[in-house]
Chains A and B, each alone.
Chain A
């Protein structure tokens, strides 16, 4: 019954979405990556094969533990979910077990976006991640599928709590597939959360991501998005600094190659007084990859004393690669500080020559420039394991255009500016190289 209700909502939302200016505008269409989601509807309804999927989840988990020292607490597929014993912070609940009010009380409404409606309509289970008041949690989650999959992840962080979360997205199907997720995040008063979402889906997979976050009084949320995999990616994130003196820092790192396409639409909103919102998007593209960065800062009328920053940067490693950055702002209060900027450039030939004149071959020199480009963002991640994993993904991408798998730990050309590194989390960047 409830699924039917969702399908009705979906149909209504699709109709609604046709009227949305961003879908209709000829100008916007140029900066929009279309996704043929409806073609996956039939497969999303099917039950899938739990055994096959469980086997794949275990295989990926084992590989991640072996290669990158990542030990997942839970692995979620389209037909099955495996949660490590003793991990109480993660629950997987069937949609059919939820009440109508719970379903309707979702932060992201179907009418927000037709792709949201689509995910709502076809989600079979919700993943709850909960950190009680005053508690600390470090969690890692694998989301992988053998068939098209959409899921919803509800993150509730209590007051005075801390969360460090890794979500690793993998999809190894050879046929065209879909991996979609909606996040609804609430960060309780004076809490601190870091979420690392690493997308490394295979080249046949369409990626859809939505996140809506509310950051309450005195709380801090940092979200690091790494987009390395997938055929086409479309993302829409809305992060609200609601409470007094709350803050959000959103980092987007895109490493594209081949024909990959990325469409990132992120809104940071200063709603409460004395809030800080910071969006930094970086894209390094090879071959014919395309990336559209649409960062938007919204400073609302009550956000006196707030600070808001949008910074979009691109580096083009090939002539055919294309970055379109469209930063925007809407300022509703005069007593705020708000800046936005964007810059995209090809690889600097003089920098390349300088590095090569010291013995680095052209691939290593490019790796160096890309690692330098991303290093400030990577260095701020708390977990050395995540840093190593992200660095390894990027190395593998630049070296052999490979993505979608679990790389071997290889940070040999990834160097992080130690001035920005928390020494407790990394122990010095030299230590990094010893992890090989």
Chain B
């Protein structure tokens, strides 16, 4: 059954401050959405709220998967429903082996055992594809990874876990030009192969020159203020975020 993520009238607050003020969004398996917006517009809050971060409280509205509300579910249950979030700043956890962590995560989301040979083969293949030069095997989870390695390692996790809908929170930040391209192409490949629904959050359109989003959403002050296709990216390129923030554009 194809997975659909629906966000309706979502209001979210954290540390007593309301960040999201009524967000509506639907992402279906196989679709490619992009959310763009200035700093502080609520993009990361949206990603964390969807994934169930306990510090982000849903004060109104709903998040559902295939019509079932997931508001009360912990993050692990949401992962098992097929949701995945790539973190803007993945935490470093010393002492937890990356590969074994990933293997357990895979076992957990699939509720089964993993064919270890196949699993290691996939890791090797994606490690090469993503040009993770220092390798992953034998290293602690994100510990001592460079900024670029962390982003690539997140994409590697997506490739192995094969989620139904993946949210990428600034997958391009901190990457050099070659790395942006490698990350974008890998996300494209994996999503095409697995029919993954994508929700990519970004400030810049550089990564989008390697990707073809079907739906573009502009976020400002906790709301989606404009929606459209690739043409919105072109407008942004010319006019910047100011016009959207000032409300000159409206949801189409």
Residues in B whose Cβ lies below 8 Å from that of A375 = 95-97
B177 to chain A, nearest CB (A): 28
Q: Given A351-B91, A375-B96, A416-B97, do A361 and B76 touch, yes or no (CB 8 Å)?
A: yes
Q: Are A356 and B100 in contact (CB under 8 A)?
A: no
Answer whether residue B108 sits at the interface, using C-beta atoms and an 8 A cutoff.
yes
Answer whether residue B161 sits at the interface, using C-beta atoms and an 8 A cutoff.
yes
Residues in A whose Cβ lies below 8 Å from that of B79 = 356-359
Answer whether residue B44 sits at the interface, using C-beta atoms and an 8 A cutoff.
no
Residues in B whose Cβ lies below 8 Å from that of A418 = 97, 137-138
A381-436: which residues lie under 8 A (CB-CB) from chain B?
412-413, 415-419, 429-430, 433
Q: Given A358-B161, A362-B76, do A415 and B96 touch, yes or no (CB 8 Å)?
A: yes
Q: Given A359-B80, A362-B74, A415-B100, do A368 and B85 touch, yes or no (CB 8 Å)?
A: no
Task: Spell out B's residues near A (CB within 8 Å).
Answer: 51-55, 74-76, 78-80, 84-85, 87, 90-91, 93-97, 100-102, 104-106, 108-109, 116, 137-141, 157, 161
Q: Given A349-B54, A372-B140, A419-B138, do A359 and B95 touch, yes or no (CB 8 Å)?
A: no
Give the distance in Å from the alpha carbon of A374 to the alpha carbon of B96 in the complex.
10
User: Across the A-B interface, how many residue pairs have beta carbons closer than 8 Å?
Assistant: 108
Residues in A whose Cβ lies below 8 Å from that of B104 = 360, 364, 368, 412-413
Q: Are B76 and A350 in contact (CB under 8 A)?
A: no
24 A-B pairs with C-beta separation under 8 A: A349-B54, A351-B91, A353-B52, A355-B93, A355-B101, A356-B74, A358-B102, A359-B76, A359-B105, A359-B161, A360-B108, A361-B74, A361-B76, A368-B96, A372-B96, A376-B95, A412-B104, A413-B104, A417-B96, A417-B97, A417-B140, A418-B137, A419-B140, A433-B100
A30 to chain B, nearest CB (A): 31
Residues in A whose Cβ lies below 8 Å from that of B109 = 358-359
A321-366: which residues lie under 8 A (CB-CB) from chain B?
348-351, 353-362, 364-365
Answer whether residue A373 sits at the interface, using C-beta atoms and an 8 A cutoff.
yes
Secondary structure class of chain A's binding surface, majority of residues: helix
Tier of interface size on chain A = 20 to 34
Q: Are A351 and B93 in contact (CB under 8 A)?
A: yes
Select the residue from A364, A372, A376 with max chain B CB neighbours within 10 A.
A372
